[in-house]
Amino acid sequence: MKNWDTLEADVDRILTKHFTSGRNGRKIKMVVVHHNGGRLDVDGCWQTWQTRQASAHYQVCVDGTIGQLVWDRDTAWHAANGEANRASIGIEHADETTNPWHISDATLDNGAHLVAAICKHYGLGRPEWMVNVFPHSHFSSTECPASIAGDQNAAYMQRA
């Protein structure tokens, strides 16, 4: 991240579709975390979302690089729930391994740091699981965010 205080990502690769401009008057109240279900980088997410009607605000790569794909002021289509989308920032995390899904230490560290920076920037208080930080699975029937809600959750939230 170039600047944690201003939420300036390492890379901006802004989508031109598959998001909604603005937030329909809603304020940001939470962060929703996801995993890629693969080892995608920022360009890989951008390419995937050219044909898939989904998006997220940020992507955290295996090496810890953070990319922004949808501006915070806009609504990313990430939670499969319109109200949650309008009231949240969505963060995708690249997986380092599959079966089981696991994120790298760099992804865990920078993803958690990004959650904390977002909570600070938007006045959401200290990051707390199921208070202002939610798994994608809270809003729709999915296993996402895999290990971030499972065996890596304690480490992720402790670092946030």
Decide if pLDDT at 95 tops 90. yes
Whether the upstream peptide bond of residue 135 has omega within 30° of 0, thus cis, is no
Decide if pLDDT at 99 tops 90. no
Give percent of the chain with pLDDT exceeding 70: 100
Residue 148, φ and ψ in degrees, nearest 5: -70, -25
pLDDT of 69 reads 99
- Going along the chain from its start, the domains and CATH numbers come out as 26-159 (3.40.80.10)
pLDDT in tens, 117-137: 999 999 999 999 999 999 999
Strand residue runs (E) in the chain: 11-12, 19-20, 30-35, 58-60, 66-68, 75-76, 88-93, 133-135
Whether 19 and 55 have beta carbons less than 8 Å apart is answered as yes
pLDDT in tens, 15-24: 999 999 999 9
Decide if pLDDT at 7 tops 90. yes
pLDDT bin (cut points 50, 70, 90) of residue 98 is: confident
- Cα–Cα distance between 61 and 138 in angstroms, integer? 23
pLDDT in tens, 44-71: 999 999 999 999 999 999 999 999 999 9
